[in-house]
């Protein structure tokens, strides 16, 4: 509700006061090393608006109790809040039923959940899993662990030098051995928006199950799981203004129902005896133990907040910002953008001739500019492009065009220091 109050009145109109929106984020008001903080590490995690911080505090001040098990009033309140957020999540991603949305710790846990349930049940010796060249380690390693156990093989959909997936090559890789296609919606290292609908429909035509890693998509554009047509869609809350430690794994009920539980414990059972236990219905079947209740409450507040601004407006704003940041980087002699796909969201990765990205990050930090440097948990992307690392500026809607100029002067400072 508070999100709606903070700028809900503007939603119907065409214009959003982005500086007012920025002011909702207390962390952005800081000075760092004597300079205004320019936070450009949004792909790693977003900052949190006051409404999310307040929702978590209010939860502990007024509603804290364990959920589902208590008959007492407070437990009922906590349960209503927790299950209410499931409905918000479903609406946000256009799921047909809130029960399709399983709360997990984040994208990493969501993918591991699918690997340990769907993967262990449906993937066997000689089978193949198709990943893409753009994947984050979270969408590689769980499948490697599974392949080691089951004797299955990973094959990789290649990309071009711009960081775009080669869909024709994907078509050639699909075979009767393919049991799963697991592809990111948006690359965290390069910002590429993949042709996920096309990939999903080609895989489905071949009868193959599709998992989409939506960690970098849900925070930046409207996502409609129904329209995408995949079987699993996974994302993290902390990259979309919610607290850390909460995320969502979506799949149609019929698919969840067909899978065994993964973690065992309280809340995921229907009955327990030493001889045999039976399982609760989905989603409880996949939510063993006391969940991250305040994380869910915070996620609900974040969804209210983002929805009040409008995800289409956020996407448009970030597109303009990204162009400004890329132009700023290009203006500095000796820089090169890495990742030049036609369809991109939020990420400007770059290198500077003769300068290690860690040095770029360290000098930028002296200017108050927070960049990420390294392989961005996507080492195969770096290997494919013949790089060890890049510097990455990743934007959110609360960044400003002026911050692109701050980045430019920080990079110019890097050049000066290195005499480039
Ligand atoms: N996939 C992508 C594309 C990501 O960017 C990230 C986080 N950097 C993850 C998965 C993993 O998310 P988390 O660390 O929140 O589990």
Residue 128 Cα to chain centre, angstroms? 25
pLDDT in tens, 222-254: 999 999 999 999 999 999 999 999 999 999 999
The number of the ligand 1 atom at minimal distance from the alpha carbon of 109 is 16
> How many angstroms separate the alpha carbon of residue 211 from the centre of ligand 1?
14
108 Cβ below 6 A of ligand 1: yes
pTM for the full predicted model: 0.95
- The model's confidence at residue 14, banded by pLDDT at 50, 70 and 90, is low
Active site annotation includes 377: yes
pLDDT, mean of residues 178-183: 98
> How many angstroms separate the alpha carbon of residue 188 from the centre of ligand 1?
8
CA 59 to CA 5: how far, in whole Å?
19
188 Cβ below 6 A of ligand 1: yes
pLDDT in tens, 167-178: 999 999 999 999
Considering the candidates 101, 147, 241, 377, report the single residue annotated as catalytic.
377
Other beta carbons within 10 Å of 173: 16
216 Cβ below 6 A of ligand 1: yes
Residue 205 contacts by C-beta under 8 Å, 6 or more apart in sequence?
none
CA distances from 266 to 112, 271, 288 (A): 20, 10, 6
CB 220 within 8 A of CB 346: yes
136 Cβ below 6 A of ligand 1: yes
H or E element: which one contains 2? Answer: helix 2-7
CA 234 to CA 226: how far, in whole Å?
13
pLDDT, mean of residues 9-38: 86
Tell me 248's DSSP state: E
pLDDT in tens, 313-331: 999 999 999 999 999 999 9
- The model's confidence at residue 419, banded by pLDDT at 50, 70 and 90, is confident
H or E element: which one contains 211? Answer: strand 209-213
Query: By alpha-carbon position, which residue is closest to atom 8 of ligand 1?
Result: 44
Tell me 281's DSSP state: P
pLDDT at 387 over 60: yes
Query: By alpha-carbon position, which residue is closest to atom 5 of ligand 1?
Result: 188
Closest to 79 in 3D by CA, of 293, 260, 366, 243 = 293
CB 255 within 8 A of CB 231: yes
> How many angstroms separate the alpha carbon of residue 115 from the centre of ligand 1?
16
Query: By alpha-carbon position, which residue is closest to atom 6 of ligand 1?
Result: 215
Angle subtended at Cα 182 by Cα 394 and Cα 144, rounded to the nearest 5 degrees:
100
Mind giving me the DSSP string for 103-156? EESSHHHHHHHHIIIIIHHH--TT-EEEEETT--GGGTHHHHHHHHHHT-EEEE
pLDDT in tens, 102-140: 999 999 999 999 999 999 999 999 999 999 999 999 999
Domains of the chain: 9-39+310-418 (3.90.1150.10), 55-307 (3.40.640.10)
- The model's confidence at residue 6, banded by pLDDT at 50, 70 and 90, is very low
The number of the ligand 1 atom at minimal distance from the alpha carbon of 184 is 3
Q: What is the mean pLDDT of the chain?
A: 95
The number of the ligand 1 atom at minimal distance from the alpha carbon of 213 is 1
Angle between helices 107-114 and 141-150 (to 10 degrees): 20
The number of the ligand 1 atom at minimal distance from the alpha carbon of 105 is 16
Select from 163, 215, 345 the residue to mutate for testing ligand 1; criterion: most ligand atoms less than 8 Å from CB: 215
- The model's confidence at residue 337, banded by pLDDT at 50, 70 and 90, is very high
Closest to 382 in 3D by CA, of 349, 359, 340 = 349
């Amino acid at each position: 509700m508070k999100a709606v109050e903070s700028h809900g009145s503007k939603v119907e109109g065409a214009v959003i006061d982005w500086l007012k929106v920025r002011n909702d984020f207390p962390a952005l008001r800081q000075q760092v090393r004597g300079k205004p903080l320019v936070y450009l590490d949004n792909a790693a995690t977003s900052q949190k608006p006051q409404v999310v911080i307040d929702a978590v505090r209010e939860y502990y001040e007024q509603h804290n109790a364990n959920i589902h098990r208590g008959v007492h009033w407070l437990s009922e309140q906590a349960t209503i809040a927790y299950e209410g957020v499931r409905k918000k999540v479903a609406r946000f991603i256009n799921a047909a039923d809130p029960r399709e949305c399983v709360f997990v710790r984040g994208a990493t846990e969501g993918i591991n959940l699918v690997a340990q349930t769907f993967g262990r049940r449906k993937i066997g010796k000689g089978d193949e899993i198709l990943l893409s060249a753009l994947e984050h380690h979270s969408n590689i390693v769980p499948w490697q662990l599974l392949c080691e156990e089951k004797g299955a093989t990973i094959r990789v959909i290649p990309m071009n030098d711009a960081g775009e997936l080669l869909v024709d090559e994907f078509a050639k890789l699909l075979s009767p051995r393919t049991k799963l296609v697991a592809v990111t919606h948006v690359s965290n290292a390069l910002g590429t928006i993949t042709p996920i609908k096309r990939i999903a429909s080609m895989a489905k035509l071949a009868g193959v199950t599709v998992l989409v890693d939506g960690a970098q998509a849900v925070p930046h554009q409207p996502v409609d799981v129904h329209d995408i047509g995949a079987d699993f869609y996974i994302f993290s809350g902390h990259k979309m203004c919610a607290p850390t430690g909460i995320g969502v794994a979506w799949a149609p009920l019929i698919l969840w129902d067909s899978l065994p539980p993964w973690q065992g414990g309280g809340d995921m059972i229907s009955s327990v005896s030493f001889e045999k236990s039976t399982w609760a219905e989905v989603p409880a079947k996949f939510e063993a133990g006391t969940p991250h209740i305040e994380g869910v409450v915070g996620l609900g507040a974040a969804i209210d907040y983002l929805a009040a601004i409008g995800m289409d407006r956020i996407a448009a704003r970030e597109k303009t910002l990204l162009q400004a940041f890329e132009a700023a980087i290009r203006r500095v002699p000796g820089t090169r953008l890495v990742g030049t796909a036609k369809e991109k969201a939020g990420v400007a990765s770059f290198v500077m001739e003769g300068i290690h990205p860690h040095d770029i990050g360290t000098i930028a930090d002296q200017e108050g500019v927070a960049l990420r440097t390294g392989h961005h948990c996507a080492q195969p992307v770096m290997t494919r492009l013949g790089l060890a690392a890049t510097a990455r500026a990743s934007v959110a809607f609360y960044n400003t065009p002026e911050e692109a100029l701050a980045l430019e002067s920080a990079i110019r400072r890097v050049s000066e220091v290195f005499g480039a």
